[in-house]
Structure 1
Amino acid sequence: MKIGVLSDLHIDSNAKKLAPGQTYDYLLAELLYNQEIDLLLLAGDVSSDYHDTFSFLDRMRAHSVSKIQFVPGNHDFWSIRNHEEDTDRIYKLFKEREDNPVGNPYLIGDEWAVAGNPGWYDYGFASPRYTAEEFSRKKLKVGGWNDRLYVHWEKDDRAVAQAMLEELENDLNAVSGRKIIMMTHVVTHPQFVIPLPHPVYDYYNAFLGSESYTELYERYPIAHSIMGHVHFRKLLHEQETTYYCACLGNARHWYTEDPYTELAYTMEEFKLDI
């Protein structure tokens, strides 16, 4: 089985790069077909409105090229156009989808499983010189973290991060005995945040991932770990785990002007013998 890994397509903010008549679902379907991908693991931030993300995922399913498993990113929880503020309800809608593995790990043959969760940030990767109250504001003089405007959980960030960690552990335990492909949107390894000290990311690393999630690698047989969110592309092999961050990201950081070329350059691939 050939597996592709992508995240952070941001089809709305990157729409300006499309030629007339092009769409990101068609370009991605073409890439999956050309690369003979059996399963695409898409680690969040398709768009900045959950309605648009749903529509994209539905169009990808209609292309009937590859199976897809998807976990939402922080942007996918936004609803700017319709001004919806019940993020817990939006998350429930994502979990009801067949292409979402939360609460329903995706089994591959007799030996493998995909366990996924969007994850949330617990502030653990940031500098301790800031307080939890300062992080909860999501704003410094140099700018603000826009989840403060568009994400409205019933709990605070660290409680959401803990609840999602518990969801993920429940799914990991449910596939005990299998080798694991773990997919989150947020970062789960310190090598995927910005090294400290840093004049900006001493603060903003708080919103890139969860330090508490790093303990999962000690307790579970995670062979492949997929994440996104940070808008760079990195591959790391450490001990028994390969870590993937394959973010298409914002077009201003692309190496070329062509979205198909960037998709092809970004997507990571690996094979499973099943």
Structure 2
Amino acid sequence: MRIAISSDNHFDVNKVDSDAAMVAQADYLRAHQYDYYLNAGDTFNDFRKTQAFYMGLQRLLGADVQVRYVAGNHDMIRGVDYTTLQTMRDPLYLHRTSEALPGTNWQLIGNNGWYDYSFAGPGLSAEEILHWKKAYWVDSVIDQPQSDPKRMDAELAILKHQLDQADGRPVLLLTHFVPDIQFLDPKMRESEMGGKAAALLGSQRLGNLLAQYPDVTAAFGHLHRRDLPQVMDGVQYLHSPVGYGTKRHHEWVSDDFMTEWVNSLQTVEI
């Protein structure tokens, strides 16, 4: 089985013709004989557009390649409420679901993830972080009925149940938010503003949970930096987002979206 993984395509922010990109991605995935295409979130700033994109991509690919995706924080900004995000049953939307990868003993698990301030800079209170989030962070408009730590509690409980159900089989996890503080630049947490932003990037409790299981590969996005595959506490991590190619935030080597998508694409052979 051959699996392609991408994240943080940000079609709208990058001002990419998503219809043309859909055709180009489908052609590439089919030509390179992939069986699955997984996307770890931040496709559009509107969940409806994200869902429509992957439905369209799956139609183009037909039975040749199976498409699965989770939502990043940008996907959650508009076009979806909390309940729909957590309970929607779209066969391509992997959040809070799992499936056996055909012809293997691997289990594919999806969870959007969230954050709980465990990456916060030293001395910062939850109240200070929440106040800063509401004033400055794009996630402040995302619908949720509970605190950020409580939201992460719910995701961890569901994910633990899914990992237990895998019963020792190898797991490929698709999530969006950062699972280990080691992925952050230590200098980020040295300033008050950086420490507050770090608090909203992910959860160390996710990494700690994954480390309790024997054979986990976890693919995530969110940080706009491309890392080589690496093992932390026994977990194989994959993180290579497309990121931004705008004049204000130019994180690409080239000026072409498809070049960056191909160059950042990760392949898992099972």
- TM-score, structure 1 as length reference: 0.88
Aligned to 1:70: 69
Select the structure that is richer in strand.
1
Given the alignment, which residue of 244, 266, 269 partners 1:268? 266
Aligned to 2:11: 11
CA distance in 1: counterparts of 2:130 and 2:200, whole angstroms:
10
Aligned length: 260
Aligned to 1:115: 109
CA distance in 2: counterparts of 1:152 and 1:240, whole angstroms:
35
Counterpart amino acid of 1:259?
F
Given the alignment, which residue of 65, 85, 93 partners 1:90? 85
1:32 counterpart = 2:24: no
> Following TM superposition, by how much is the alpha carbon of 1:114 offset from its aligned partner in structure 2, in angstroms?
1.0
Aligned to 1:54: 51
> Following TM superposition, by how much is the alpha carbon of 1:24 offset from its aligned partner in structure 2, in angstroms?
2.3
> Following TM superposition, by how much is the alpha carbon of 1:14 offset from its aligned partner in structure 2, in angstroms?
1.3
CA distance in 2: counterparts of 1:225 and 1:90, whole angstroms:
21
Aligned to 1:158: 149
- Return structure 1 stretches of 4+ with deviation > 6 angstroms: none
1:127 counterpart = 2:121: yes
Counterpart amino acid of 2:267?
E
1:198 counterpart = 2:190: yes
Unaligned runs of 5+ in 2: none
> Following TM superposition, by how much is the alpha carbon of 1:221 offset from its aligned partner in structure 2, in angstroms?
2.4
Q: Residue 184 of structure 1 contacts residue 226 of structure 1 at CA under 8 Å; is this kept in 2?
A: yes
Unaligned runs of 5+ in 1: none
Instruction: Give the alignment's Cα RMSD to 1 decimal.
Output: 2.0
SS where residue 190 of structure 2 aligns? coil
Q: Residue 11 of structure 1 contacts residue 47 of structure 1 at CA under 8 Å; is this kept in 2?
A: yes
- Where in structure 2 are the equivalents of 1:215-230 lying within 5 Å? 215-230=208-223
SS where residue 105 of structure 1 aligns? strand
